[in-house]
Structure 1
Amino acid sequence: MIVDAHVHVAHLARLKVPWETWIGPAGDAASWAALYDDEGAPIPAAVSRYFAEEGVDRVLMFCEYSPKATGWQTVEDVLPIVEHDPQRFRIVANVNPHVHHPVARELDRQLDLGAVALKVHPVHAGIAPNDRELYPAYARCVERGVPLIVHTGPSFFPGATSRHGDPVLIDDVLRDFPDLTVVLAHGGRGWSYDAAASLALTRENVWLDLAGLPPKRLPTYYASFGLDRIARRAIFGTDSPSATPARNIAAIRDLGLSEELTDAVLGGNAARVFPRL
């Protein structure tokens, strides 16, 4: 089973940034443009067909409530895609204390709609991941047995606060919630690969997602740790539409990992981390 654990199927009418900025230089703009109707809403059948043709069996789609950065992408925006293809697609919840109060109540609402994890985006939401305003949401994740995904590394979107992407800030959360499973999105992208890798390799409940990282660069990014060790704690994700799933899947297979580790990265680790996958 191939799992793309980090995908953004945004409603274009609610994006704050221009299309070219959102999709990025490595994205397949033509293919993605065909997935939307004239109102900017994703077409469920087209989205399903795209990921099927890219060879992805499970897709975790993110919503995001970041009006100061990327925009307002509600959980309701992606529900029609799940309804169309419930086998392939799963929702990841998002809360932002600046717009949701209380955060635990909003998280419950999104989990009840089918979300299988919570993502917090400190860099776009403008709040540190160890801020106590987020703690009720973390407590609810533990109570309901769902993992937490946290953006790590900088973001270059206008309105982002990159200092909140430091993985070291997650250490406080791990101390206060020892039973919480945490996925470090983007694997510490940018200036914090070592910090993210160190957390994942020393904590049984911490994992790395590889979204937004060119697979061929992984041996360089994690040179201090060894690719085999990282692969045991890594979850495949593309950050689509800014990358093409089939191309990145092939690049993972070309890394020279064992078949066992390749399968773990491409789906096996995700199946361990996301119990409702």
Structure 2
Amino acid sequence: MADRDRTPPDGVIDTHVHMNPFWRLNDDARSTLQSHSANFEEKRALAKNPDEFVAYLDSQGVAMAAIINYVTASMGYTHDTNEWAAEFRDSHPDRIMAFGGFDPRLTDDPEGVVERAVDDLQLDGIKIHPPHQGLNANDYRDDPDTRGLDGLRILYERCESAGVPVMVHTGTSIFPSARSRYADPMPLDDVAVDFPDLPLIMAHGGRPMYTDEAWFLLFRHDNVYLDISSFPPQNLLDYFPDIEQVSGRVLFGSDWPGPMVPDIGDNVEAVKQLDLPDDVVDSILRGTAEELYNL
């Protein structure tokens, strides 16, 4: 299990930052990022220099950031990305958390890959990305032909026993190879039922077309969390007007430096301007993450 005794300094905890080994992207994915992300080469350089990345966090008033990595052939990322993420995190464990990835189709040894990620690398979480991986989060239930996707069950069982959150991309993606029919968060209903002690994070809350489904899952399952990354924060209450009711399971995430995403500090200020009680804003910007990750 990952080290849960780290105490970040005062400030915001950003639970969704894309510090990835961008140089491993395939040509189509790299081109998409370059065309939609300002100063992409500067951000790419940060991924090779964790000291400079932490300096950027300081400039944005961010105490700790979770770097979100995942595995998909459609982008060019393999399970070796988990090794990179852990090494990047270990350079500043009081400032950086690391999510790795898992794709059951890209390994003949799912148990070994999951064990490596959870037990050896002690990653803080694992992400799957249905639109990029071409799967549903509940495809382990397919019978009799699981197409190798029973590896998802292995992932969920191990993460549930270890208390390691699983993040699932919900909502659409602008990348050329993304398949939006996998963007619906509703398959997480099965996962939440079958693994009630597994923390499940809905990245992006189904935006833009599945926010009603995301709200249903939040309201039904106590083990489901909402990561608000990719929402323009000033519009968050348009999508979730009753978000105060589940504020203890809402996580601030910037999605920086994703396509068309402003600096983290700009998103933080927009959250602070929302018509919400101060304690709810504090929970979104830090408190929920402290509790979820036992910081």
TM-score when scaled to structure 1? 0.89
Q: Which among 187, 203, 227 is matched to residue 221 of structure 2?
A: 203
Match of 1:6 in 2: 16
Note the 1:263-274 alignment, pairs <5 A. Answer: 263-274=282-293
Note the 1:248-259 alignment, pairs <5 A. Answer: 248-259=267-278
Match of 1:187 in 2: 205
2: CA distance, partners of 1:233 / 1:100: 33
2: CA distance, partners of 1:202 / 1:41: 38
1: CA distance, partners of 2:215 / 2:265: 25
Q: Does the 8 Å contact 2:29/2:175 carry over to 1?
A: no
1: CA distance, partners of 2:218 / 2:35: 28
Q: Does the 8 Å contact 2:203/2:226 carry over to 1?
A: yes
Q: Which among 42, 52, 57 is matched to residue 58 of structure 2?
A: 52
The answer to whether residue 116 in structure 2 is matched with residue 114 in structure 1 is no
Q: Does the 8 Å contact 2:244/2:276 carry over to 1?
A: yes
Amino acid at match of 1:209: D
Larger CA deviation: 94-103 vs 188-197: 94-103
Amino acid at match of 1:46: E
- Deviation (angstroms), 1:24: 6.6
Q: Which among 233, 241, 244 is matched to residue 228 of structure 1?
A: 244
Match of 1:218 in 2: 236
Runs of 4+ in 1 over 6 A off after TM superposition: none
Secondary structure at the aligned position of 1:90 is classed as strand
2: CA distance, partners of 1:22 / 1:230: 33
- Deviation (angstroms), 1:230: 4.7
Match of 2:32 in 1: 21
Number of aligned residue pairs: give it.
268
* Percent identity (aligned): 32
Q: Does the 8 Å contact 1:35/1:43 carry over to 2?
A: no
Q: Which sections of structure 2, spanning at least 5 residues, go unmatched?
A: 1-10, 141-149
Q: Which among 156, 166, 175 is matched to residue 138 of structure 1?
A: 156
Superposed CA RMSD: 2.0
- Deviation (angstroms), 1:23: 5.8
1:24–1:255 Cα change, 3 Å: farther
2: CA distance, partners of 1:147 / 1:66: 19
Q: Which sections of structure 1, spanning at least 5 residues, go unmatched?
A: none
